[in-house]
Structure 1
Amino acid sequence: MTQDRIQTIGHSRIKYGPLSDRVYLMRLGDGQAPLVIDAMQSLARAEGYTKLIAKIPDKSAAAFTDAGFEMEARIPDFYADGDAALFMSRFRSEDRRGPSDAERIRKVLEAALRRADAGIKRPLPDDCELTLMNPDHALPMANLYGRVFESYPFPIFDPAYIRRTMEENFRYFGIFRNASLIALASAERSESGVEMTDFATASAYRRASLAAHLLAAMEADARQNGVKTAFTIARAVSYGINIMFARCGYTFAGTLVNNTNISGRVQSMNIWYKPLASSNGTVSDNPSGNSSRHSP
């Protein structure tokens, strides 16, 4: 599988490639908007990519608007200075602009919003252990991701990649049952926020609310490390993942249309966010009620 490439421009970081047919600005350096916009547009023209997307502070929005970008999602009070994070996109194809599954996306969002703040449905089973993962777990982690996802925008099927991200800004949490890894997720720290991502649950355990327990553990860990905002980029057609974030107190921020190649095709993605400055959310820091199950 062809993986995306990373390009660094000063303090900015761009990810691009044919897998998701896009150029993605993941981090914008101060004062670099004009230079980065030119680089993104040049890449898109040269390779024929049909979408450009940028995650930027609100203070930089004017330069992107002038270049034809439109806001698709907004997370308030994301950066250390209190500025919002915007997801702004420019479509180079009308076919890319409109999702073919718009009706399902609408129904999923409605179902999720009806369950807002309902909390975790089930306690963590007594025979399960939730723990912070370490490099020795990389092989079973990669194997679980390989069983769950047909395609993914990052090489999570490679144990070496997982170990490398652990050394950088990722913290992975997993749930074991009888020494077998059955659920997994990661928290990626960026700026003053953290992205809750890479959720995977073995098919036999999809209705056990394991992802919600992983999310609560990652939130508690992020709070302890001074992170003020959590967010996620979730498949817009997935009832389970969107309902889970709504139940756990996250707010819908917008939809990134035809954005990411995941599970075998380019899909639209929903943004959800949650302030972590206080611990008054609907999900407790210790959802299982047993401190021995959470080993951060």
Structure 2
Amino acid sequence: MKTFDETIRLGGGLVHHGKQNDRIYVLKTPQEGMERFILQLEELADKNGYGKIVAKVPAPEEGWFLEKGFVEEARIPGFYGNGSDCAFLVRYPDGERQVLRRGEHLEDVLRKAKEKEGMLYMPILEEGFHCRQALESDAGDMAALYRKVFASYPFPIHEPDYIRETMESHVAYFGIWQGERLVGLSSAEMDLAEGNAEMTDFAVDPEYRGKNLASTLLHVMEAAVKDRIRVAYTIARAASHGMNATFSRHGYAFGGTLRNNTQIGGAIESMNVWHKRLQ
């Protein structure tokens, strides 16, 4: 059985780490003791030989990390409930991990995506298709579609129990069905306290690509969460023409590239951050 990275409490912060992504990902920083927290991150990275540390850091706390050699790779304005930006600050214990692979291709993807800014095309689902919020009873079919689409993923969305667990806490999943067949999926991972949501976990059955299903899912998710969420964002595969173009069309602004950041589709890939104000 594949072992996924784990999420732990560390020094008052919330950290996701493991060898699958070969990194530490700081999801939440502690409210106090920042200098000690950063030292604990360095110790954890050294102990496990991780190649990258990436941290989501509120703007007022950036200085602690910058003084320790972290640099900014991306930023989301007004991310937190108090209006502070979120900076994605990184360090590379493994210098080779910092080298951007396929740089020309990634630049081409980003350029073409930005050219589509404001060119929103909202497709109408073909007859026999319908879109709705997913239920716990759908978890088995959802996990099967994620297994079909992704050879690897940073979180265990291939497992029905994980999908049910996140449904019960903070994630709203949405799907598109042709009749009884599930053909497209996405999710809104919500932080209601801070008023932001990650639009993520997009997967379309390879037999149904080219029908703009991801665009439909994004439109439906935004409508579902906009009364509770101020800022929507995504961390999209930098090499994907389709996903980057979809977010650009929907009015998302480019926030930066996280280099060699995430294990997805069987390899460590660079990821683009996109963001949008919903309120």
TM-score range, shorter chain: over 0.9
Instruction: Give the conservation status (yes or no) of the 8 Å contact 2:50–2:94.
Output: no
- Describe how 1:40-79 pairs up with structure 2 within 5 A: 40-79=41-80
Q: How well do the aligned residues superpose, as a CA RMSD in angstroms?
A: 1.0
Does residue 230 in structure 1 map to residue 240 in structure 2?
A: no
Aligned partners of 2:12 and 2:84: how far apart in 1? 18
> 1:28: Cα distance to partner?
1.3
Instruction: Give the conservation status (yes or no) of the 8 Å contact 1:120–1:213.
Output: no
The amino acid that maps onto 2:94 is: S
Normalising by the residue count of structure 2, what TM-score does the alignment of the two structures yield?
Answer: 0.97
**Alignment partner of 2:90: what SS?**
strand
Unaligned runs of 5+ in 2: none
Aligned partners of 2:145 and 2:106: how far apart in 1? 27
The amino acid that maps onto 1:27 is: K
Question: What percentage of residue pairs aligned between the two structures are identical?
Answer: 39
Q: Equivalent residue for 2:217?
A: 214
**Alignment partner of 2:226: what SS?**
helix
> 1:9: Cα distance to partner?
2.8
- Describe how 1:169-208 pairs up with structure 2 within 5 A: 169-190=170-191, 191-208=194-211
Aligned partners of 2:158 and 2:37: how far apart in 1? 30
Instruction: Give the conservation status (yes or no) of the 8 Å contact 2:123–2:216.
Output: no
Aligned partners of 2:32 and 2:51: how far apart in 1? 26
- Describe how 1:1-296 pairs up with structure 2 within 5 A: 1-9=2-10, 11-190=12-191, 191-224=194-227, 226-277=228-279
Aligned partners of 1:258 and 1:165: how far apart in 2? 26
Aligned partners of 1:119 and 1:250: how far apart in 2? 11
Aligned partners of 1:90 and 1:128: how far apart in 2? 45
The amino acid that maps onto 1:84 is: D
Aligned partners of 1:108 and 1:49: how far apart in 2? 28
Unaligned runs of 5+ in 1: 278-296
Aligned partners of 1:183 and 1:32: how far apart in 2? 43
Aligned partners of 2:40 and 2:174: how far apart in 1? 36
Deviations 1:42-83 (A, max 9, x none): 110001001000001011000000111100001001111100
> 1:246: Cα distance to partner?
0.5
Instruction: Give the conservation status (yes or no) of the 8 Å contact 1:175–1:181.
Output: yes
> 1:10: Cα distance to partner?
5.4
> 1:124: Cα distance to partner?
1.8
Instruction: Give the conservation status (yes or no) of the 8 Å contact 1:50–1:91.
Output: yes
> 1:11: Cα distance to partner?
4.3
> 1:35: Cα distance to partner?
2.7
**Alignment partner of 1:272: what SS?**
strand
Instruction: Give the conservation status (yes or no) of the 8 Å contact 2:11–2:37.
Output: no
Structure 1 runs (4+) greater than 3 angstroms displaced: none
Aligned partners of 1:122 and 1:133: how far apart in 2? 21
Deviations 1:233-281 (A, max 9, x none): 000001010011001110000000000000000000000000000xxxx
Aligned partners of 1:2 and 1:128: how far apart in 2? 36
Instruction: Give the conservation status (yes or no) of the 8 Å contact 2:122–2:216.
Output: no
Change (3 A) 1:53 1:230: same
Instruction: Give the conservation status (yes or no) of the 8 Å contact 2:23–2:52.
Output: yes
The amino acid that maps onto 1:237 is: A
> 1:147: Cα distance to partner?
0.2
**Alignment partner of 1:137: what SS?**
helix
Instruction: Give the conservation status (yes or no) of the 8 Å contact 1:188–1:196.
Output: yes
Instruction: Give the conservation status (yes or no) of the 8 Å contact 1:138–1:162.
Output: yes
Instruction: Give the conservation status (yes or no) of the 8 Å contact 2:186–2:199.
Output: yes
The amino acid that maps onto 2:117 is: A
